[in-house]
Structure 1
Amino acid sequence: MKDQKKLYKEAMQVLKDTSRTFYIPITFLKNDLKLSVAAAYLAMRAIDEIEDHENLSNDVKFDLLSATSEFLKGEFDAAAYDALLAPYASELPEVTLRLADWVLFCPEGSRPIVQASTSEMAFGMAKWSKANWQVHTREDLDEYTYYVAGLVGTMLSEIWEWGAGIKTDRDLAIGYGRGLQAVNILRNQHEDMDERGVSFVPDGWTRDDLFTYAEENLAKGDLYMKDINKRTVLLFCRLPLALAHKTLKAMQEGREKMSRAEVEQTVEEVQAD
């Protein structure tokens, strides 16, 4: 059994190293909610690093993600996971190699929620890796953004209900996640095409259509907030949403992203509200 204090310190450091967007709001949470969401972020980041890896073939990604999805359906087999990744261990980051630790770090009560959601996400990522992430219809875009982001929303809703008795609307939770992902797609649209030959834009859609898609889903995210009556949870949910809204506005004004000063100001505004 790993020392939990040591594991906590290591987990929070890896979290800080891998996410500037989510580290701060996670620190707003308390006790088991904080541990649950931190573990969930690390677990989902672990598989995301496989999906996004520049040097792994799509077939390898499919195999790794499919197997990981199966491992997460029951008691996680750390030895089998290590064996699965062994041929690629030198290329994969710490957050991916230590997935077993993030499962162990997660409180027992919320662990089934985190494992089930991460398992479903890994399945979806495997499917879309096999399809080379070629989106052709709105239905394709909805499916992809559900797997990689809407699932984050539904998982968080289950964690809020488990840990704080907060009930939220599932469709709004999916919209919350989708909205954040749509902003990321807009930010990386040209890079994805130029560097990976991947387009998440449905056939016949303009960039304005993608902006509309993001706005529609961020509006669902705004409604999602109305069901949350615990301040620490509300602070957690508000910050990524506020940053997404402002990033979208910056791009509509022709800028690539928000300035560091704008980000810091947004954090202060959310905390002061």
Structure 2
Amino acid sequence: MASFGEILRHPDDLYPLLKLKMAMRHSKNQIPQAEPHWGFCYSMLHNVSRSFALVILQLDTELRNAVCIFYLVLRALDTVEDDTSIAKDVKVPILLAFHSHISDHDWHFSCGTNNHKVLMDEFHHVTTAFLELDKSYQEAIKDITLRMGAGMAKFICKEVETIEDYDEYCHYVAGLVGLGLSRIFHAYGTEDLASDSLSNSMSLFLQKVNIIQDYAEDIKDIPNHHMCWPREIWSKYVDKLEDLKEKENSVKAVQCLNDMVTNTLTHVEDCLKYMKDIKSPTIFRFCAIPQIMAIGIFALCYNNVEVFRGVVKMRRGLVAKVIDRTNTMEDVYGAFFDFSQMLKTKVEKNDPNATKTLKLIATIQKVCLESGPMNKRFDYSLSIINQSIINMVMLFLYLTNDKLPIIIYRQEILHN
């Protein structure tokens, strides 16, 4: 829930915040109760990823089931990779063979913590649901799991040294997800099969955002945690990756951060091309919302030393706005233009990568400007008086946790 102070500073966040709150309640009510295995899968989806649960649950039923299981299978695989208590000689064979366990009701391997441990302990429910999917979905999920497990096993014994290593690692843990989703969308029948390069870029962009955003959390677990910042980049600024968190290295740390962000911006043009070709409105929102979130987080992280102190996040009200107002490609172009403009204002001329960063931003903005109209972000058509009255009522209801169907309905009428 957004803080009271945030709501006072951004009163126009209230409406999208309340819509998001109601959407989350509604999504929980969509959890199937009749079949225990599907009930477990959707409950687990909520428990291990609230943000992805929202975009997955707005898909049509058949596609929603396939994507839900795809996500849980890969989440389980990732749980094995992340568990530092598992010896390498045990972990590597499990990663390599994980694809063969998806359809085996008798297979069991307990690892991870909290909800991730529950997922592993009760994985037979995922297996039951997986076997009910159409064969085309099963084949895509199994193939991607095979390839991802092999890639993870490779990097268990290999450091991320070069930018080429970095892209390869991100391909295995994320790019393959993009390839798998494109195959699932195509099997569903509404989409042409996207090229592997575009599908890969879509997921590399998201993965690299997470790697950068999570530095402060991940570095705490050195040497147990597998850090993915490439030595080729960070060694230009410090002797050890851990040195970036030291206050005396703040200037070099920010320059390294900006270098990492600039590397990630190379994927944006491909992301825009991928989204432009999507036909289904629900698949479009599924893809576009995380992409806009990612460029928004980058605008906050760039040139921001706080990345090395803690996790830098978008405020909850802005997240709610992105979810509420991402429906068309015009919305995407508008958001990417605005967030890239925010990033552009933070580029300093003395930054070692300033020229390259500005060139990439110019390319992104050119694509947005030349692709047609861009919808304004966060613009309300309500009069100031109406907005103020509604905000006061909504604030009270938001803080008292009441249901808001009448207020939301009234707001929709005024807004439209």
The two structures have a TM-score, normalised by structure 1, of 0.87
After superposition, residues 1-273 of structure 1 pair within 5 angstroms as 5-72=35-102, 76-79=103-106, 81-82=107-108, 85=109, 88=111, 93-106=117-130, 107-109=133-135, 110-131=137-158, 134-167=159-192, 168-197=194-223, 198-205=226-233, 206-252=256-302, 254=304, 256-271=312-327
- 2:236 aligns with none
State the Cα deviation string for residues 142-163 of structure 1 (Å, max 9, x = none).
Answer: 1100110000100010011100
State the Cα deviation string for residues 221-267 of structure 1 (Å, max 9, x = none).
Answer: 22110111110110111111111111111111625121222212211
User: Which amino acid in 2 is paired with 1:249?
Assistant: A
Higher relative contact order (CA 8 A, sep 6+): 1
Q: In the alignment, is the contact (CA less than 8 A) between 1:117 and 1:152 conserved in 2?
A: yes
- Tell me by how many angstroms 1:90 deviates: 8.4
Q: In the alignment, is the contact (CA less than 8 A) between 1:59 and 1:130 conserved in 2?
A: no
More deviation in 25-34 or 103-112? 103-112
Q: Helix, strand or coil for the counterpart of 1:55?
A: coil
Q: In the alignment, is the contact (CA less than 8 A) between 1:135 and 1:201 conserved in 2?
A: yes
Alpha carbons of 1:238 and 1:64: their partners in 2 closer, same or farther (altered >3 Å)?
same
- Tell me by how many angstroms 1:89 deviates: 8.3
- Tell me by how many angstroms 1:61 deviates: 2.2
Q: In the alignment, is the contact (CA less than 8 A) between 2:163 and 2:232 conserved in 1?
A: no
Larger Rg, first or second structure (1 or 2): 2
- Tell me by how many angstroms 1:26 deviates: 0.3
More deviation in 185-194 or 227-236? 185-194
Q: In the alignment, is the contact (CA less than 8 A) between 2:97 and 2:146 conserved in 1?
A: no
Q: In the alignment, is the contact (CA less than 8 A) between 1:45 and 1:96 conserved in 2?
A: no
User: Which amino acid in 1 is paired with 2:43?
Assistant: Q
State the Cα deviation string for residues 190-231 of structure 1 (Å, max 9, x = none).
Answer: 433341334322223132221112211233222110111110
Give the whole-Å Cα distance in 2 for the aligned partners of 1:130 and 1:232. 40
Alpha carbons of 1:7 and 1:71: their partners in 2 closer, same or farther (altered >3 Å)?
closer
User: Which amino acid in 1 is paired with 2:291?
Assistant: L
CA RMSD of aligned residues (A): 2.3
Q: In the alignment, is the contact (CA less than 8 A) between 1:141 and 1:202 conserved in 2?
A: yes
Give the whole-Å Cα distance in 1 for the aligned partners of 2:59 and 2:273. 21
Identity of aligned residues (%): 27
Alpha carbons of 1:127 and 1:204: their partners in 2 closer, same or farther (altered >3 Å)?
closer
User: Which amino acid in 2 is paired with 1:183?
Assistant: V
State the Cα deviation string for residues 64-107 of structure 1 (Å, max 9, x = none).
Answer: 212314445xxx2232x22xx26x58886122234443243131
Q: In the alignment, is the contact (CA less than 8 A) between 1:46 and 1:97 conserved in 2?
A: no
Give the whole-Å Cα distance in 1 for the aligned partners of 2:138 and 2:292. 28
User: Which amino acid in 2 is paired with 1:238?
Assistant: A
Q: Helix, strand or coil for the counterpart of 1:29?
A: coil
Q: In the alignment, is the contact (CA less than 8 A) between 1:243 and 1:266 conserved in 2?
A: yes
Q: Helix, strand or coil for the counterpart of 1:270?
A: coil
**Structure 2 unpaired stretches of 5+:** 1-32, 234-255, 307-311, 332-416
Give the whole-Å Cα distance in 1 for the aligned partners of 2:222 and 2:129. 34
User: Which amino acid in 2 is paired with 1:245?
Assistant: I
More deviation in 136-145 or 57-66? 57-66
Give the whole-Å Cα distance in 2 for the aligned partners of 1:173 and 1:10. 29
